[in-house]
Amino acid sequence: MEAVISRNAGSVAAVGGITKLEQFPAFRTSKLAEGLPADFPMLRCPIADKDAHFIPVDDIHYRMRFCEISEMGAPLMAMLFQINGVQIYWLADLEAPEVWAAYDKWKCAGRVPILLDFDERNERDCTLCVPEIPMQPSPVGEPPRQDEIPAAAYVWLTMETVVASDVLQYGSVSGIADFRLERVLVNLLATKRLEPFFEGRLHGAKPKATVQSF
């Protein structure tokens, strides 16, 4: 399936993160987040101005899944979100306790709040999506044993290798019927263990962000 590729590599790699719903007070007015506590973990993805027009405003369809990537070095957790014809990946360190804590809560709730945070130059501020996920066991394995934990530098090198290879972009296939894949975005998920490697790449949340509900 033909795709328009967005390559997020090297110094311009996108950086996503896990934040909390309470950091965006407008979630309280969204029916999508109904029943979720204020401290519930939420995935964040920065959307560059050049990619904003690919994110739909109306007639929105989306799905979410998790998998493990272990063919290119250290095992990584891949979180894949598709919204209409756009796929967004977060590559995460399987050793990071905050990743597993969030993952367990998402599985228990059967939902994953996702904030698409647009560049400040864009007229849209942010969009909240809350895709459902299966509550049964997934293809992602258990956290590695203490004696199997790869060094942080090796995990970082693996992430950069995966992004630079474009394997996710060129190997992606639309997971939503009737939607042709138009854009594939890849984020590296910022976690505490990898903080030294993300220096200078992190983007803070907008203080007056609003949430678009649908």
Could you report the per-residue pLDDT of 16-64, keeping only the tens digit for each? 999 999 888 788 888 999 999 999 999 999 999 999 999 998 889 999 9
The residue with greater pLDDT, 74 or 150, is: 74
Q: Is residue 107 a part of any domain in this protein?
A: yes
Per-residue pLDDT at 194: 94
Q: Is residue 212 a part of any domain in this protein?
A: no
Give the chain's mean pLDDT. Answer: 83
Per-residue pLDDT at 210: 29
Q: Is residue 175 a part of any domain in this protein?
A: yes
Per-residue pLDDT at 111: 96
Q: Is residue 138 a part of any domain in this protein?
A: yes
Does the pLDDT of residue 204 top 90, yes or no? Answer: no
Q: What is the C-alpha separation between 65 and 138, in angstroms, rounded? A: 9
Per-residue pLDDT tens digits for 136-192: 766 676 665 655 678 999 999 999 999 888 888 888 899 999 999 999 999 999 999
Domain containing 166: what range?
10-198
Q: Is 142 exposed, middle or buried (0-12, 13-18, 19+ CB in 10 A)?
A: exposed
Spatial CA neighbour of 14 closest among 130, 132, 186, 157: 186
Residues 137, 141, 147, 150: is their CA dihedral positive or negative?
Answer: negative
Q: Is residue 3 a part of any domain in this protein?
A: no
Q: What is the C-alpha separation between 120 and 9, in angstroms, rounded? A: 21
Per-residue pLDDT at 171: 86
pTM: 0.84
Q: Is residue 117 a part of any domain in this protein?
A: yes
Q: Structurally, how many domains does the chain consist of?
A: 1
Q: Is residue 204 a part of any domain in this protein?
A: no
Q: Is residue 209 a part of any domain in this protein?
A: no
Per-residue pLDDT at 188: 94
3-state secondary structure labels for all residues of the chain: CCCCECCCCHHHCEEEEEEEHHHCHHHHHCHHHCCCCCCCEEEEEEECHHHHHHCCCCCCCEEEEEEEECCCCCCEEEEEEEECCEEEEEEEECCCHHHHHHHHHHHHHCECCEEEEECCCCCCCEEEECCECCCCCCCCCCCCCHHHCCCHHHHHHHHHHHHHHCHHHHHCCCCCCCCCCCEEEEEEECCHHHHHHHCCCCCCCCCCCCCECC
pLDDT, mean of residues 86-102: 94
